[in-house]
Structure 1
Amino acid sequence: MTSTASLQPILDKPFVLDLFAGPGGLDVAAHGFGIPSLGIEWDRSACLTRYAAGLDTLHADVSAVRRDAFESLPPEINVLAGGPPCQTYSVAGKGAGRKALDEVKGYIHRLMDGESDEAIDADLKTLTDPRTAMVLEPLRYAIQATRSPNRGMRPYDVIVLEQVPTVAALWTQYAEALEETGLPDGTKYKAVTDVLATETYGVPQTRSRAVLIARRVGLGDPALPESSHRPYEAKGWNGRPSSPAGDPHQPTLDEAPRTTVEADRGSGDEEKPLWRSMGDALGARVGTHPGRARPFLVRSNYGSSGIPGRRGVRSDRQPAATVTGRISRFVVFEHLNEEIVREGARFSMNEAGMLQSFPPDYPWSGTAQAQQVGNAVPPLFGKHLLSAALGLPAPDIRAAVRPWQPVAEERRAELRIRGCGESDGCTDKCPRPEEQTPPLSS
């Protein structure tokens, strides 16, 4: 079931807590609605990006904040959001994903039954892969809210979770527990889950995400956001590059895909606009972005097994392939005329962010910037999720192309004092330096 996002908000003053917040995808989404947010992020460079963007941040481990500092969180927070690292829960391999799901399901039941944190933590330490414990954190935060004197034992009103498609079964387990069992204090939720394609929400890339939207019983039935664009269907074009000049890995214009109208014909959503292409997102000059007016091809780094000839190629008339931490390896080719193609400049981090629907001139900072971009929630997709979860108007896609204004150094220092303890550096309360490396994007 989908929703057009009612114009009647279900909360008077929403305030988002963003777990595993990364460089700020969901926070940028909240910002677009004028909703305050607080993100918890353990990677130092992602925090530097967040400080430069003016986003309220705690540089900390999500689990540590729940155990040791939950009472310091603003009590007015009423929306829990985020996407825990879920590399441990993968369908790849010989039954490893199924085993991980069974483990997580068992812990979900124990948490809902009100078993003590000490007993559960002791067993979690014995897991082969400790990351399995991280997928339980949103649920543990939801439970902790009902035990917090600072909050008056008040549960979160709304929960919004997002991750890679292989996590869909996990969100189903979450939804069943929230609806049927309820939290230990008796609070129950209505929940919906599904796997959604981000290009159908105006994001200029093909990226599938498993989502969960839950509302506390009494706040109305939740619904998934209604798509705003048609799905991408590259019918009959395999993108295998070739060249009459003899280079088997050089793309040519005659192997470019058909126009977006031809590629998308018959999708069943003719009343909706086409999906946004890379050319739509990057073509015009905006902010410091000079624009890519010349037609181009992009050869991705996916599915190649080390063989360049197997790498997928898309034109500027198509959405980008899924943006991950490998976006800096994408090769861009420019058309000089109808027959000549040459290798041009690779995507800048500003452009990579724009393909994720971040505003132009978003202040990417620190190291591993490509990984930050790839790990992030696409802000425009995040806006659609929040609009459906909170009953807000559907987002205006034009807002995504307005340049972001970084905050002044004084404000950045204030945010870092709150997030790290010092205006110009980390302190002992921050995660250890050897841990401050973002996980690979999926």
Structure 2
Amino acid sequence: MQNTTLMNKSIELFCGTGGLALGLQNAGFQHTALYEWDKDSCDNIKANIAAGFDGISDWNVYQSDVRTVSYDGLTGKINMISGGPPCQPFSLGGKAQAYNDKRDMFPEAVRAVREVMPEVFIFENVKGLLRKSFSLYFSYIILQLTYPSIVKPQGMTWEEHRTLLEQHHTSNRHGDCEYNVVFRLLNAADYGVPQLRHRVVIVGFRKDVDAHWSFPNPTHSKEALLYSKWVTGDYWARHNMAMPMSNPLSKQAIKNIRSAVEECNAPLRPWQTTRDAIGDLPDPQSKEAAAFDNHIFRAGAKIYPGHSGSVLDEPSKTIKAGAHGVPGGENMLVLDNGDVRYYTVRESARIQTFPDDYHFVASWTESMRQIGNAVPVKLAEAVGSSVYAHLKEIDHAKRRYSNN
């Protein structure tokens, strides 16, 4: 087993248009290679590199099928592996075929961990991964990531391999290439993302890394937003709006919110709303809109039963990988006068917490697909910063010990 010494080098699989990579870069990791099969997504990252987007000039983006990627020579040189394996096999909106879906790339995530043996990995996926119907397969994924060196023999079914892994897990015959793995369903809104977006995040530390790590605590809350709206009125004042005359909360609800916020030892900030995220952008049909990149009006939005947009004074609905025809109208915005329109690309990017100077160079439809598939930058940064801080603390402790 190689020594645990802080290196901030990382590689990312299934990088898409770069949301997870940007957040982890902000957290302190430096990506030496990003792999993505989709050409448009790769082109978008490369366009931002060429445009001089800060901090990513050293990114090497490879348009490739991860099943063909060789990791020879990377063992001991890469601190972290990250990625978001394709979510369609587990998506609530897809066919949900899981292990029967050829797009299931978790086996490739496991292979990367096995061959590189990083100190830590971070993988993200949709909440559908935790559906009851997938519970056995999800437990299999976790076991594979815990014991990546126990490869499924050719001809063995995944159920038989899971049994083999369970037997190893309950034995005392453990080897070097093993990981302590935890997972949690996170709501991006709890970490400052102006969007209700639930995602499963899986984090594993190599067994020789004494991390004592747990997921970072939320920094924002629904209760704090309600308090700001209906107790202090700060929310409306911040947006130069009069507090609505009709308060939707009961007296008891107000009392409970007061207690939750005022008696909290570590006060949280309010959930960010759609208005917080995009309220300063001009109407995309106005002349002023031309000053903002990717802020172009798109006609055709309509409300009908089961197809409604996001309201301004709540976190946005989950931005999804689509444009027209997104099932619940999640890519639409409801204006103050009740009219609806599609989010512009820039507005969607803000909802996903991409910086304004991160450009989207494809068509509106393709850009919306890329943004909808992305990990919110702030959520990635929150998890990544916590992981990086623990690795840094461990490294400093080892250095103090070696110098004594």
* C-alpha RMSD of the superposition: 3.9
CA distance in 2, matches of 1:274, 1:78: 34
Aligned counterpart in structure 2 of residue 196 of structure 1, from 179, 186, 190: 186
Shift of 1:158: 0.2
Shift of 1:310: 3.1
Letter in 2 for 1:378: P
Aligned residue for 1:332? Answer: 333
Shift of 1:357: 0.9
Aligned residue for 2:141? Answer: 174
**Structure 2 runs not aligned, ≥5 long:** 50-55, 151-174, 227-242, 283-288, 392-404
Letter in 1 for 2:348: A
- Distance change (3 Å), C-alpha of 1:177 and 1:47: closer
Shift of 1:385: 1.5
CA distance in 1, matches of 2:247, 2:65: 45
SS in structure 1 opposite 2:305?
helix
Aligned counterpart in structure 2 of residue 39 of structure 1, from 19, 34, 40: 34
Letter in 1 for 2:385: S
Aligned residue for 2:200? Answer: 210
Letter in 1 for 2:62: L
Aligned residues: 306
Taking structure 1 as the reference length, what is the TM-score of the superposition? Answer: 0.60
28-37 or 205-214, which deviates more = 28-37
Aligned residue for 2:115? Answer: 144
Taking structure 2 as the reference length, what is the TM-score of the superposition? Answer: 0.65
Aligned residue for 1:223? Answer: 214
CA deviation profile, 1:137-195 (whole Å, cap 9, x unmatched): 110111122xxxxxxxxx2110111100122345543333444x463463211111111
CA distance in 1, matches of 2:206, 2:369: 34
Aligned residue for 1:157? Answer: 119
SS in structure 1 opposite 2:11?
strand
- Distance change (3 Å), C-alpha of 1:216 and 1:257: farther
CA distance in 1, matches of 2:144, 2:46: 36
SS in structure 1 opposite 2:140?
helix
Alignment of 1:166-315 (within 5 A): 166-168=128-130, 169=135, 170=137, 172-179=139-146, 181=147, 183-184=149-150, 186-219=176-209, 220-231=211-222, 258=248, 265=257, 268=260, 271-284=267-280, 288-289=291-292, 308-315=304-311
CA distance in 2, matches of 1:173, 1:209: 19
Aligned residue for 2:157? Answer: none
Q: Is residue 67 of structure 2 the alignment partner of residue 63 of structure 1?
A: yes
Q: Is the 8 A contact 2:194 2:271 kept in 1?
A: yes
CA distance in 1, matches of 2:347, 2:361: 14
Letter in 1 for 2:215: L
Letter in 1 for 2:142: A
Shift of 1:267: 9.5
Shift of 1:211: 1.0
CA distance in 1, matches of 2:85, 2:247: 36
Q: Is the 8 A contact 1:234 1:263 kept in 2?
A: no
Q: Which has the higher contact order (CA 8 A, sep 6+)?
A: 1
